[in-house]
Amino acid sequence: MIGYMKFVELGEEEFREFEQKNPYGNLYQMAERARLREKMGWTTKIFGVREGRRLKVAGLVLARDGMAMVPMGPVVDWDKDELERVDYWVRKVIEWAKSEKMVTLEIFPPVKQSVRDVKGNIEEQYERQAIFEIFARNNFEYMGATTEIENKANRWVTVKDLAKFKSVDEMRASYKKNVRNKLRKCSPEIEIVEVRDEAGLKEVARAIEGSNEKNGMRSRAIGYYKWILEEWGEQVHFVLARRKEDGETVAGRVIFDHPNETVSFISGTVQKYRKMNAMTVLQDDLLTKCFEKGIRRVNFYGLAGDFSEANKLLEFKSGFGVKVEEYIGGFRIVLRPVEHKIRRAKGGAMRAMRGVKNKLMGARK
């Protein structure tokens, strides 16, 4: 039975203890991410719901330029009868957002909609109507069953469950044959090292930048990786794949530890070495080390919800026997409609200008 509820602002330590022990705790909601986002210019708030002395719900809220969002939160055991508490938390966050003159508030619950195989076939489906009703009651609009990669909170991720394997050999037997063949060929040429000094971080950033440029994505400055190391400490790993013959960096990766899973956050390949298949070796190295440490869930993070042959990222990840998890997605409430309409119009004009600029640059090439 639900008792008297009180909406409170939480300190970092209490939130961390709650989030780290909750089955719905995740990388997006870690207290360390609040500090990282503050360094990036965001305002952060941690709000909770208490019943007596017991904390029942907690969530990290990020805000900047009139936009507030809750990525993969709030943290609460969504599998239990907690939705009345969630409803109360949502209503109170709306009140806070209005008081701060936020234009929009977006919430992305950490709740799975389905589990699929790499062909897109649904293996598990979850009934989430009650969650949709909470947001509808509070005047949110559903942002849709999107398929593109979402930077605010991943809607599609690939995961590997290691719990069913009794040995590393058995785990590797779950890889596709072509992946096992690549490992036999490439592993002797590559060494995997973890780095934590500035020179090493620059090498990781350079490798990631290579893939970002290839995919038309924006790269982060080296300061971003320094901030991550400062905030997460021993919970983050910067890993390089190097050629044994000359020590040249081939690929790099950033990995986070969380009590619920290990997350392969971001990775990339130096493009002139892309035929060395270093990412295959990095992927196997991560899975092997996780298995040996007793970690049972590895999250390879976001990808597009596209199950066609055009999705090369899914094709690569599918070689390791992963499952695809589809999350419920985001909900948005517009709190200042006139300002929101003006912002959308400006944003549309800027996107059109970028499109013209890109066409001109392409024509010059």
Q: What DSSP string runs through 98-132? A: HHTT-SEEEEE---EEEEE-TT--EEEE---HHHH
Question: 304 phi and psi, to 5 degrees?
Answer: -75, 145
Q: Which residue has the higher pLDDT, 350 or 117?
A: 117
- 66 and 15 in a common domain: yes
Q: Residue 287 belongs to what domain range?
A: 164-295
Q: Does some domain include residue 199?
A: yes
Q: What is the pLDDT of residue 240?
A: 98
CATH number for position 16: 3.40.630.30
Cα–Cα dist 48/187, whole Å? 48
- Is residue 228 within 8 Å of 236, Cβ to Cβ? yes
Mean pLDDT of 291-319: 95
Residues above pLDDT 70, as percent of the chain: 92
- 136 and 58 in a common domain: yes
Which of 246, 275, 295 is the last residue before a domain boundary? 295
Q: What is the pLDDT of residue 360?
A: 46
Q: Does some domain include residue 305?
A: no
Q: Where are the alpha helices (DSSP H) in the chain?
A: 12-21, 31-39, 83-99, 129-137, 168-172, 177-186, 198-215, 222-232, 278-293, 312-318, 337-364
- 174 and 281 in a common domain: yes
Q: Does some domain include residue 159?
A: no
- 59 and 172 in a common domain: no
- 130 and 198 in a common domain: no
- 179 and 74 in a common domain: no
Q: Does some domain include residue 37?
A: yes
With 50 as the cut, is the pLDDT of residue 91 above it? yes
Q: Does some domain include residue 195?
A: yes
- 136 and 174 in a common domain: no
Which of 250, 271, 295 is the last residue before a domain boundary? 295
- 284 and 182 in a common domain: yes
Is this model's pTM higher than 0.85 or not?
A: yes
Alpha-carbon distances of 144 from 157, 331, 347, rounded to whole Å:
17, 8, 20
Q: What is the pLDDT of residue 185?
A: 95
With 80 as the cut, is the pLDDT of residue 144 above it? yes
- 213 and 104 in a common domain: no
- 260 and 200 in a common domain: yes
pLDDT category, 349, cuts 50, 70, 90? low
End-to-end CA, the chain: 67
Q: Does some domain include residue 204?
A: yes
- 128 and 17 in a common domain: yes
Q: Does some domain include residue 251?
A: yes
- 253 and 192 in a common domain: yes
- How many structural domains are present in the chain? 2
Q: What is the pLDDT of residue 354?
A: 52
* Of 310, 239, 321, nearest in space to 279 by CA: 239
* Of 132, 139, 56, nearest in space to 95 by CA: 139
Which range has the worst mean pLDDT, 67-71, 276-280, 330-334, 352-356?
352-356
Q: Does some domain include residue 213?
A: yes
Q: What is the pLDDT of residue 219?
A: 67
